[in-house]
Every structure is written in C-alpha cells, then in structure tokens.
Structure 1
Amino acid sequence: MAEKCVVPDNEGVPVLTSKRWILAYVAIVGFFFLYCVRTNISVAIVCMVKTQQMNITTAGNLTQENLADVTQSCTIEESKGFDTAEFDWDKSIQSAILSSFFYGYLLLQIPGGWLAVRFGGKRVIGYMFVVNALTTLLVPVCARVDYRLVMALRILLGISSSVTYPAMQSMWGLWAPPLERSRLASFTYSGSLIGNIFAFSASGLLCEYGFDNGWGSIFYIIGIGTFLWACLWMLVVADSPSKHPTISKQERRYIIDSIGDKDDEVRSTPWKKLFLCRANWTCLTAHFCNNWMHYTLMTSLPTFMKAVLKFDIKTNGVLSAVPYIAMVVLSIAGGQLADWLIKNYFSTRFVRRSFQSVSFLCSAACLVGVGFVTCENRYVAVALLTTAVGLEGLVNSGYMVNTIDFAPRYAGLLFGINNTISTIPGMLAPLVAGALTPNDTPEEWRNVFYVCAGLISLGALVFGCTAQTDLEPWARAANSEVTVAPPTPAKKLPEEHGVEPTSKEASVICSERL
C-alpha cells in the first residue's frame, strides 16, 4: 500500500473565509448566471411558440388506434392557452434555435484556455460575461423581427460563454490545493445546476405572470443579473494567489507549496503532448458521452414534460427543475465525500473511476426506465429523471476535475480541447431529439432515451477502465518541488505519528494506492 498524501503545513490558514473559497463563492454565482442565459430559452420557447397540431402526415407507423391512445390515454392537466404566444415557428426552427448556441460554443474553448494561461482568467471571464448579458437582453427585440436574429444572438452567446469553463479550470489549477480540488470544483460547477433550476422553475412562472408578454421578462431579468455579476467578479477575484492583493502570507504559501508550481513565468505550450495525452483522451470520451445526455435533457426536458407527461407550463417549469436540485446536492456532497475518501482510504484514481462509473451506469438504467413510463404514472417518470440527472452531479468528482490531477498547469487548455469536441452533442442532440420525435409520442421519446443511455454506458466502460491521475512528466514545472515518495509501506510519515507536517515539508508527497 502506498503512502498517504502529505500537504504543506496549513496551520493558521483559513478555510471557509479564505480567498480560495471566496473565489468559489463568487464563481458559483457566475456559473449560475452562465446556465441561466443558456437554458432560459428551453422553457421560454414553450410559451413563445403557438401550440401546433400533431404531424399526422408523417405518422406512417401509427395506426388510428395508436393515435387515439396518444391523445386520450391519460388525464391531461388543465392549462390555459398561451394567448401571449407570438410565433408560428415549426419544429425544425425551434430545434435550430435550441442548437444554435452550440455552434458558437465551439469557437473559443481552446483559445479561452490559452488566454487564461497567458493573461489570467479574471479578465477573460469578466469581459465575456458582459457580452452574455447583452446578447440575453436583446432576445425579445430580435425575436419579434426575425427568428434568424435570435439564432445569431444565441451563436454569439455561445462564443462568449465558451471561455468560462476552460478559464475557470485554469484558475483552479493555480488556486486549488490537491486535497481540496473535488470540493472546490464541485462546489463551483454546481452553480450551473442551480442556474438550471432557476431557469426552468422561474421561467415557467414568468411565462404566466411576467411582463412583456411573460416570456420577455425572462431575458430581461437574467440579462441584468448577469451584468451585475460581471462587475462583482472584476472587483473581488484575482488570477492567482500571488496576484491577490489581500491574501494572507500563510494561505499564499500553503496554496503555492501544495501545487508545487509558480504561475508568474511565461511558458511554452506543449501542444503535441496535450493532444496525444492518453489520460486526456479518457476524459474526452467521458465528457462527450456525458454532454450528449446533459444537453439532450437540458434542451428537451420541458418539451417532453409537456408533450408526453402532459404537465401544464407552471408545473412543467417546476418539475423540470427538480432533477437539477438533486444534482446540486449530489455534486456538493460528492465533492466532500471524494476528497475525504482520497485523504483517508483510497487512491485518487480509484475514487475518480468509481464516482464516474456509478454516475453513468445508474443514470443509464434510469433513462431506459423513463421510456416505458406512461403519462398515467407521470410522477414515476419524474422520479427516474430526477435520479438520472441527480447522479450526473458525481461527474464533478470524476472527469471534470481529472485534468487538474494529471496536468494542473494546463487544465484550462485540456478542458478547452475536450469541451470543444464535446460541444458537438450540444449541436446534434436537440436536432436528433427533434428528428426522432416528429409527433412527440412516448414511443418516439423512448428512442431518445435509448441513445443517451447507450452513450453514457460507453463512457462508463472507457473511463472506469482507463482513467489516470498521475502527474504527467510534461506537465511538471521546472521549478516544481513536488516529489513522489517511494512505495515503502514501512515508512512512517509525520502525520502517522499524530504530528502535523512542518513548514519544511513543503512538498506534496503523493503516490497512488495500487
């Protein structure tokens, strides 16, 4: 058995009031708004577009009896018609609008990570959030002119949003000590889940009761909030511990010594090694498969709730948010549990593989089950969807933080590479879901869930068998003080004698349990 991880002396270093956690507190709100601006249209479009009739001409595989079952098999919740619905957009236009965000989202993933490495994540994220705010505020005006202007705004929103995850990964590569990575990352990224919750539930209510025909208020409120957050971000955070004006000397030393790297040197980028890294290809596979499920549900769940489960818009919005509440809880709790297990019992590699496999395999089983639930048992479907999406929260302790394990200096760039390729599901998933469900029948939606379940099962197999966490040689800084202890079980470290490491033990001594 290998040695336990030893970190530098953290005596006198604050935790919940520390600058690294203040960064996490501000960042979680940022990711809240990041997902509000990208998912608000998924609910808004339900009350923007006039209800359309089933496409009987394309229902060649449905008998008259089956059509009757589709329309009369269960009690449909009463819902007032949307007199405020203004647009006659057909299914293809709606799918195009929902997927257009991801065309822009492809463009700045890798440049965003590179810019954060070179110039710091603070300005990269802050300036782009101003663009996020403006593109959101303009949606109601442009929608009333031409739907293609909405698509253009969504593409621009995708471009400005694409830098956020790579830049944040780059910042955590400089701010997150090894034994706090799961906690800090999962806490920060759970903001995106809270954003989903708000976008789904609040948007449904605003459709009914908001100003500017209801749906318009969704974009105005979220756009203003996004702009105000960008101002807060620029005032509060710093690119790295060494650049923070008010951080304590103890915390600065603790973070830098834990990571074993200096952030103020100009570095060349080992592009070839980044693209050929096998550990990163494993992360990429998991990332791609997870995004297919994530984006399918994020863009199509309100439509499924309305068309198959027959929920009215208010109930639809609230129940579409419920799965993401479970995801927030499991994301934050999973991060705490993962770091505790790594510190006390298991290797980082075992924990990463286990969390990811449990997340994927259990979610796949739930999605298959959803496809067989009828609208008479609609709340069973909600429970299964809640479990499937909730378990997705464990990925923040799996592939999401894995790049920081094996290449913390280049975590932003690696995430940018992965997220660029993994944005393809964002473009394709809404189109595939729309193509598979021309009549929105339960049988058609079953195929959508089969595709998601199959892909995440593949991701579980690949990541569960091949994920790595050892620091890559090319990712180690020339001045790094990180050392690896020889695997001698008889050796006793200071903490095993009940003595805290001294400040002279400033290097991180970590080796995997076999």
Structure 2
Amino acid sequence: MENEEKTTSPFIESSENNQLKERENVPCCCSQRWILAYTAFFGFLLVYALRVNISVGIVCMVRINDTSVSSSQQNNTDLTCVLETTKKEYDRAEFDWDKDLRSTILASFFYGYIVTQIPAGWFSDKFGGKRVFGVSMAISGLATVLLPVCARTSVILVYVMRVIVGLGTGTVFPALQSMWGRWAPPLESSKLVSVGYMGTMFGTTITFATSGVLCQYGFDNGWGSIFYLTGGLTFIWVIAWFVLTADTPAEHPRITEAEKNYIESTIEYDTHIRSGKAPWKEIIKSRALFACVVAHMCNNWQLYTLLTSLPTFMKTVLKFDIKSNGALSAVPYICQAFGAFAGGQVADILRSKGILSTTAARRLFELIAFFGTGGSLVITGFITCDNRQYAVVCLALAVGFSGLVRAGHIVNHVDFAPKYAGIMFGITNTFATIPGMIAPIVAGALTPNNTQEEWRNVFYVCAGFTVFGAIIFGTFVSGEVQDWARDHDDPPKEQQICRASSFIVPVPH
C-alpha cells in the first residue's frame, strides 16, 4: 500500500521528510488521547464499583440461614471447610431477604441498564460523549450514596436506586465508544480501548477485595460504608473528567497541533462533523454488527453470572468466610485485567507489522477468549471444597481469558463503523444486557440447594454460550470500515491517500 501511495501522490514524495519529522513530534504516553484512556480507566473502575458493590454487600446485609449449607457440611470431611462456614460471620446483617428476593435485587440493575444504551449512543454520536458520561456518573454516584438509607426504609427503594444506577451507567460504554471513534487512530485502537476498559476489571477487583473487610470493620454497620465510599469517589472523578477530556481532538484546549493532525489524518471520516441521520437500514442488515451482538450477549452471560453470583459460590460451595470471599472473588478480575492489557497490546503489534489483518486479529482473540473461558468454567464445576485453591485458579483462568474480548468484539465497533461507534455499541450492549437480567435468576433457579452439582450446571450453561458466541463471531466478523459508515462527501481517493499517509500510518483492513 505504501508503494502505491508514493507513486500516486507527488505531494507525499515532495514532503515526506517534513512529514516524518512531524510524526516524530506526536506525543504518546502523555498525549491527550492517552490521558483520555487513563481518565476513562478510573471512570470504568468506578462504574464497576457502583455495579458490583451490591454483590458482596448483599452477602453481609442479609441474614442467610440456608439449610443446604448445614446439610452439605455434614457430608464434607474437610475440617477447614466446616470451620469457616460455622463461624458467626454476619453479626451486622439487618435484613431477612429470601433467596428469590436477593436474586431479583441483583438483577434489578439491568432493568435500568438496558433502557439507555441506544439513546446514549445516538446522543453521544450527535452531540458528544463527554457530557453523557459525566452527568450519568454523577447521577449514579448519588443513587449509590442514598442506597443504605433506602434499604432501611423499604426494599422497594433498593430496587429504585439500583435501577437508577443501571440507567446512569448504561450510558457510559456507548458514550466512550463514540469518543474513541473520534480519538483513536486505527492502529492504536486496541491499546487505547483496552486500557480504558481495564478499569472495569480493577473496579471489580478492588470492590470485591475491600468490601469483605468493610463489611466487618467499616462504618455505618459495615456494609453501609461500601456504598458511601464508592458513591463519594465517583463525585471526585466526575470533576476530573470534565476538566481533562473533550469530545473531539479539535475541541481539546491543551492538545498539540501535531497530535490533533495525526489523529484526524488517520481516522477515515471527518471528526469535525457530527453524524446526522444514522443509516438504520444498513445498520440493521450489517453482518459485522450481528457478529458483535451475538458475541457480546454470549460473553455477558458468563460475565454477569460471575459478577453477581461469584461471592455466593465462594461461600456456599467453596466455604470461604466473608473476608477471604471478597479477596478471592477479586483474584479472577486481576487476571482479566492482565488479559485485556496483553490482548490489546499484542493485537495492535500483530496488525501494525502486517502479520494479521484486523479481521483475523479480532477473530483470533475472540476465539481464544471464548474457548478458554468455557473450558475453565467446566473444570471449575468438578473441583470440590477439598481442593478449592484449584477452583480459584480455574476461575481466574476463565475470567482472565475473557479479558481478551477487549481485542475482539469490544473494539470491533470502532473498526467497521467509527463514525457510528456509539450507536453500534449501544445496540450491541442493549442486547447484551438481557443476560444480566436473566443470568442471576437462572443461576439462582439452578442452585436451590447451593450444591456443587447444581453449580456445575450453571457453568455448563455459561460454557454453552461461549461456544455459540465463538462460532457466530468467527463466521461473520469484519475489521473493514463498512461503506455505509463512511462520509458521503469523502474527498477523491488521491486526497484520502495523501491525508492518511501524512504520518506514514496505513489504515488497516
């Protein structure tokens, strides 16, 4: 491609030395596009802190007297398991919510989350994602801070607060994806997106690791401090977000001219112009979008099953006490963060060196993620409490493999429709929210007695979804910008080549 560019564009030949010098002046790690990634990292850390705090919090909020735990202990010969589950762990528990009520509380978040996905994507693409992200997080933080008071007033108010948190955080993925469609140079998209979204794993990790300790030693009866801290930190982040970020490179007050020109010259549409009417007919018929929808739904089934039910599995099957439960529930998400970071880096290296096309890279990382996750979960279902350390290892591998989807379907929207990346992600995440509404309830229904055999069926279901997702995504994935996602008034091909080559960075296909 580079040879063709040099022979068809005299402008490039005459100014190549100047362009190379200008390319060298483009900042990297401390650039505004990377500052956006770092700020997004902390934002998504808090998004997931707001999202999963209830998963551990509910374990120490509620007086759980499951007879199945006692009966399973009688048949268990491992003394350590019996000792940890016979301790008086929940002295501060205040509520008598039964198993079905707990499951519906965990699922209520997603009833709000599913509503705002597509509107947030459309609004962000048309008006900018910065305000959508920031305002939504402020609302979500407020609802989280109010949750302890609501819980002591009425369980109905708990549902309301969790739905509000879902409504607010439901906007953030489409909003940031829309911003990446205007900020991420094609050959840096995997790295930038994966670093920003790594915050989701760290948010889960830190929340799981600290919530168990807060339950026992925190203020406001322990569990209340979980919600006050996560909500309060969110307000601090919102201030930083509005100060440090901008919707587009052209609107950023502190960006260098070299970086702005670099970003705008490599993205295949005019980022100065907001999208008008979306090409809904072409969007609906898109095979690439279909691949992302299915992959996102299948990945989220196992993700949401573990996010909402992993602390319960750790307690009832592996017999960990509340402090160990929180810390060990966090271990898999450390591995997921490593998988996401490594996947993003390796994917962009393989693409930039021409070893893999964008389509092949997305397919490869998605297949590894799905088959690795499914296989590890199946193995977990056969490990008993006697060898529970190996179960933690397998769960860590399962969630670690799932981190590779950041270099698969998660970033793929920016590949095939950067101009409409917010809408694309809103559509896929709307469908992908359905598992969040159903998976916790299914897990609860499959485990009435919380036995290992029942949880094995939960993991079988998760593995089945990963296999199906791998087949569909592997068949229909595309890494090329779709015709309907380009500007209608694109300049002549020679001018596009000239602009895209000004920094000698080829556009991947």
TM-score by length of 2: 0.92
- Say yes or no: does 1:303 pair with 2:309: no
Equivalent-residue separation in structure 2 for 1:482 and 1:99 (angstroms): 51
Shift of 1:246: 1.5
From 8, 17, 35, give the equivalent of 1:22.
35
Equivalent residues in 2 for 1:1-400, closer than 5 Å: 10-54=23-67, 68-69=74-75, 75-78=81-84, 79-266=87-274, 267-344=276-353, 345-400=355-410
Equivalent-residue separation in structure 2 for 1:108 and 1:325 (angstroms): 29
Unaligned runs of 5+ in 2: 7-11, 13-18
Equivalent-residue separation in structure 2 for 1:253 and 1:442 (angstroms): 57
- 1:483 and 1:508 in contact (8 A); partners too: no
**Counterparts in 2 of 1:93 and 1:203: CA distance versus 1, 3 Å:** same
Shift of 1:76: 2.8
Unaligned runs of 5+ in 1: 486-492, 494-500
Question: Could you say which structure has the higher helix fraction?
Answer: 2
Equivalent-residue separation in structure 1 for 2:229 and 2:435 (angstroms): 29
Aligned to 1:411: 421
- 1:200 and 1:320 in contact (8 A); partners too: yes
Deviations 1:105-144 (A, max 9, x none): 0111000001101111111111111101101001110111
- 1:261 and 1:479 in contact (8 A); partners too: no
Shift of 1:470: 1.2
- 1:42 and 1:300 in contact (8 A); partners too: yes
**Counterparts in 2 of 1:511 and 1:240: CA distance versus 1, 3 Å:** closer
Shift of 1:268: 1.8
Shift of 1:287: 0.3
**Counterparts in 2 of 1:503 and 1:222: CA distance versus 1, 3 Å:** closer
Deviations 1:272-295 (A, max 9, x none): 211221111001110000000000
Equivalent-residue separation in structure 2 for 1:358 and 1:4 (angstroms): 35
- 1:483 and 1:507 in contact (8 A); partners too: no
**Counterparts in 2 of 1:17 and 1:5: CA distance versus 1, 3 Å:** farther
Identity across aligned pairs (percent)? 49
Equivalent residues in 2 for 1:438-477, closer than 5 Å: 438-477=448-487
- 2:195 and 2:341 in contact (8 A); partners too: yes
**Counterparts in 2 of 1:4 and 1:301: CA distance versus 1, 3 Å:** farther
Shift of 1:32: 0.3
- 1:2 and 1:511 in contact (8 A); partners too: no
User: Equivalent residue of 1:21, what SS?
Assistant: helix
Shift of 1:34: 0.3
Shift of 1:68: 3.9
- 2:81 and 2:318 in contact (8 A); partners too: no
**Counterparts in 2 of 1:34 and 1:503: CA distance versus 1, 3 Å:** closer
Q: Quote the RMSD (CA, aligned, Å).
A: 2.5
Deviations 1:240-276 (A, max 9, x none): 0011112111111100010032233242211121122
Deviations 1:333-360 (A, max 9, x none): 1111110000111111111100000010
User: Equivalent residue of 2:382, what SS?
Assistant: coil
**Counterparts in 2 of 1:286 and 1:144: CA distance versus 1, 3 Å:** same
Shift of 1:54: 2.1
- 2:365 and 2:407 in contact (8 A); partners too: yes
Aligned to 1:496: none
